[in-house]
Structure 1
Amino acid sequence: MAYATLDDLVARFGEQELIDQTDRVSGTNVNTEVVTRVLDDASAILDGYLAGRYALPLATVPALLVGLCCDLARYALYPDAAPDLVKERYQNALKLLARIADGTLQLGQSGPPAQAGLSQVVSSPRLFARGERS
C-alpha cells in the first residue's frame, strides 16, 4: 500500500516537475508507471522504519507520512543529480523516520506493533519482595 498518490505529488511539487522527471521522451505527460514505482519504493522504505513500532498496514495514514513519502519519491525521480532542495527534503525525511522508529516522534496511532505468533503476559505488580517481613 502506497502512503501517497500521484495527486499528492502534484499538489506538493507541481505537474510540470513530474512531467519533466518522468516523461523523458516527449515531455508532455506524467508517466504514471514511473510515479507508481517510486511511490511504492518510498512506501517500502516507510514500512521499514515503521514496522518495529506500529502494526502495519496503518488503519489511517497520518498527513506526516504522506509528506515523507512524497519527499522520498521525489528524490527517486532524480536518478542522476537531485537539486539541493530535493536532497535536503529527502535527508530530513530520513531523519524524521529515524525519530519515528526510535520512538522520539509519535504518529498518534494506538496499539502496540503486531508481533505474529507471540503472546503477551500482563500481571499485577509484585506483592512481596525479598527481605521484607510483615
Structure 2
Amino acid sequence: MAYCTKADLIDRYGERLLIELTDRGAIATGAIDDDVVDRAIAEADALIDGYCAGRYVLPFATVPVQIGPLSRQIAIYTLHVYEPNEKITADYKEAIRQLQQIASGTLKLNAEGVASSTTDAGGARVTDRERPMTEQSLKGWI
C-alpha cells in the first residue's frame, strides 16, 4: 500500500510541477508520466519502511497520519533530476530528520503492532541458590 498517491502530489504541489518533473520523453507530451511518479512514490515508501522497520511491524494496519506527508516530501524531492528549490530541499531534510526520530523512538507513531525494542538477552538476572557466605559459615571470622 502506497503512503501517498499521484493525486496527493497534485493537491500539494500542483499538476504543472509534476508535468515538468515527469514529462521526460524525447517528445514532450504535456502530461504526467504515471510510471515516473509511481517509481518515486515506491522509493519514498521503501525509505520510510526502512526507518520504521526497526520499531514497527510492517505493513501498517492503518497508515499513521505522519507518514503521508513524509512520503510526499520525499517523493517530490526524488522526482527532481536536478537540484530542487530550497523549500523542497528543506522539506526533504525535515522528513529525513523525522524518520530518524521515528527510528530512534523519540517520535512515536500511532500504529498498531509496535515491535518490542528489547529482547530477553538483557536486564538483571536473579539466581536462587544458597549464599556461600552466611553467619554460620563465617563463624570465627566475625
TM-score of the pair, normalised by structure 1: 0.82
Q: Which residue of 2 aligns with 1:110?
A: 112
Deviation of 1:113 after TM superposition, in Å, equals 2.1
Q: Which residue of 1 aligns with 2:63?
A: 61
Deviation of 1:112 after TM superposition, in Å, equals 2.9
Q: Which residue of 2 aligns with 1:38?
A: 40
Preserved contact between residue 52 and residue 103 of structure 2 (Cα < 8 Å): yes
Q: Deviations over 1:78-128 (max 9, x none)?
A: 1211111110000000000001111111111133328xxxx97xxxxx7x8
Matches of 1:5 and 1:62 in 2, distance apart? 15
Tell me the percent identity: 38
Q: Which residue of 2 aligns with 1:22?
A: 22
Matches of 1:63 and 1:110 in 2, distance apart? 13
Q: Tell me which stretches of 4 or more aligned residues in structure 1 moved more than 6 Å.
A: none
Q: Which residue of 2 aligns with 1:96?
A: 98
Give SS of 1:56's match: coil
Which of the residues 75, 78, 83 maps onto 1:76?
Answer: 78
Residue identity in the other structure for 1:33: D
Which of the residues 51, 54, 62 maps onto 2:53?
Answer: 51
Preserved contact between residue 72 and residue 90 of structure 1 (Cα < 8 Å): yes
Q: Which runs of 5+ in 2 are unaligned?
A: 121-125, 132-142
Which of the pair has more CA radius of gyration?
2
Matches of 2:14 and 2:29 in 1, distance apart? 14
Q: Deviations over 1:17-73 (max 9, x none)?
A: 101100134251110000000000000000000000000000011221011000000
Preserved contact between residue 38 and residue 73 of structure 1 (Cα < 8 Å): yes
Deviation of 1:11 after TM superposition, in Å, equals 1.1
Preserved contact between residue 61 and residue 112 of structure 2 (Cα < 8 Å): no
Matches of 1:60 and 1:69 in 2, distance apart? 15
Equivalent pairs counted in the alignment come to: 124
1:3 is aligned to 2:7? no
Q: Which runs of 5+ in 1 are unaligned?
A: 121-125
Give SS of 1:76's match: helix
The CA RMSD measured in Å over matched residues stands at: 2.6
